Amino acid sequence: MDSQLTTNFKLRGTEGVVVFGTGNFGKIIVRAISDRGLTIKKIIDINTSNHETIFCGYPVVGPDELTENDVVFLATNISNRKFLRKLCKDKKVLSIYDVDKILRESRWPSYYSELDLEWSLDRAQEVIDLYLFDIDSESEPLFLKVKSLDVVLTERCSLKCVDCSNLMQYYQKPIGAEVEILVESLKNFFETVDFVSELRLIGGEPLVSKNVERVLDTIYSYSNFDKIVLYTNGTVVPKESILKKFQDPRVWVKISDYGPVSRKAQLLADTCKSLSINCIHEQVKEWEDVGRILNRERTLEQNKVVFGNCCVNDTLTLLHGHLYACPFSAHTDNLGVLKNAETDKVEMLVSEGLKERVRSLYKDKEVLVACNLCNGRDHIVAKVIAGVQTKSPLRLEVTSA
């Protein structure tokens, strides 16, 4: 993989470079490339609904418009770079670059307000930090460096969202994590990986868990991580003694505000501010339509495309003593609908050979058994209104799509 930006584009006679990707990340990259004096001639996007539109003043076309003489920058912050790189190579493109050097040399925070991003400045910095971590990790194959670990504290939730991407809507009898199993799994994880950039405490609603303090104490006892992010739906404000556990500068509370149902979102944000707790308060109006379990009846090659273009194909998930390759795989297995899927997970309470098993799960997968039940998690899938509620759990019945 060539992630080094050369400076001889004009000497090679190119009429301009191509940016592969749109969205918030794409806006940052387009501006950074322009600031370097490079001409952009077109934007490539795999989302057909964006084709024949204008993005940041440039025409958007599909991958079929790539030519072998194009100089392509992969402006994607999710882990589908390998997939997009293959699309480019299939079109015989020889000059394909990641955008890490461009980002490191850009001054994007100084013109953040001009970019019209849906992300807050903190959110944008978080995304870019994770992207750069991922790039750097690929250059150090001897080390096991993990970008994200979802730590599921509980299946219980204070909301009943019809389209929850973590499938909480199907749990008839949700339970909390067994704390001793969770703590032991975390210890084995930290003693196995060389570094993890981000630990994400999730649910359900993690703030209804009685084990938040114990889990934080366990994590704090290790040093091979960068950040802890607690994801909450803005319905719970813990007592101050619990919140003070979040005052560590490595901890961020991220509030997903779904409007009226997130009835305590502003109170929680204000409380975090008063206690000097890092907090991101985001209004969330729509989700990708990924909260349904259906037999998609795809071929193996089709499921490899789904996995390759997935935004969480490198988001490990810790649930009830097992480490999964993605959250959808974790919860379909936990719900009992994922059959013959031992390859989708690692037993975390068995320490023998754990490093190689985790490495294989994290780095070597091309497809999961769970992919055939998933709608795919990318920017192509349809959008649904976020936070729509149901009075009772949904019936879990796997039918064909």
pLDDT tens, residue by residue, 322-378: 999 999 999 999 999 998 889 999 999 999 999 999 999 999 999 999 999 999 988
The mean-pLDDT minimum among 73-82, 150-159, 248-257, 320-329 falls in 73-82
Helix (H, G, I), strand (E, B) or coil at 166: coil
Q: Can you tell me which residue has the tokens 């005052």?
A: 247
Give the CATH architecture of domain 17-122: 3-Layer(aba) Sandwich (3.40)
Q: What is the mean pLDDT of residues 239-245?
A: 95
- Output the pLDDT for position 295: 94
Looking at CATH, the fold of the domain delimited by 140-385 is given as TIM Barrel (3.20.20)
Residue 297 CB-density burial (10 A; 0-12 exposed, 13-18 middle, 19+ buried):
exposed
Predicted confidence (pLDDT) at residue 44 exceeds the cutoff of 70 = yes
Q: What is the mean pLDDT of residues 193-203?
A: 97
- Output the pLDDT for position 178: 97
Query: Is the pTM here over 0.85, yes or no?
Result: yes
Predicted confidence (pLDDT) at residue 5 exceeds the cutoff of 70 = no
Q: What is the mean pLDDT of residues 110-130?
A: 94
Provide CB contacts within 8 A for 144, sequence distance 6+: 192, 193, 194, 355, 358, 359, 362
Identical fold, 17-122 and 140-385: no
- Output the pLDDT for position 4: 44
Q: Where do the structural domains in the chain lie, given as residue ranges?
A: 17-122, 140-385
Q: Rounded mean pLDDT of the chain?
A: 93
Give tens-digit pLDDT for 46-74: 989 899 999 999 999 999 999 999 999 99
Helix (H, G, I), strand (E, B) or coil at 55: strand
- Output the pLDDT for position 386: 97
Banded pLDDT at 380 (limits 50, 70, 90): confident
Banded pLDDT at 6 (limits 50, 70, 90): very low
Give tens-digit pLDDT for 77-88: 988 898 999 999
Helix (H) or strand (E) holding 43: strand 40-44
- How many CB atoms are closer than 10 A to CB 358? 20
Bridge partner list, 322: 319, 347
- 322-324 and 315-319 strand pairing: antiparallel
- Output the pLDDT for position 131: 95
Amino acid identity at 335: L
Banded pLDDT at 14 (limits 50, 70, 90): low
Helix (H) or strand (E) holding 126: helix 121-138
Predicted confidence (pLDDT) at residue 15 exceeds the cutoff of 80 = no
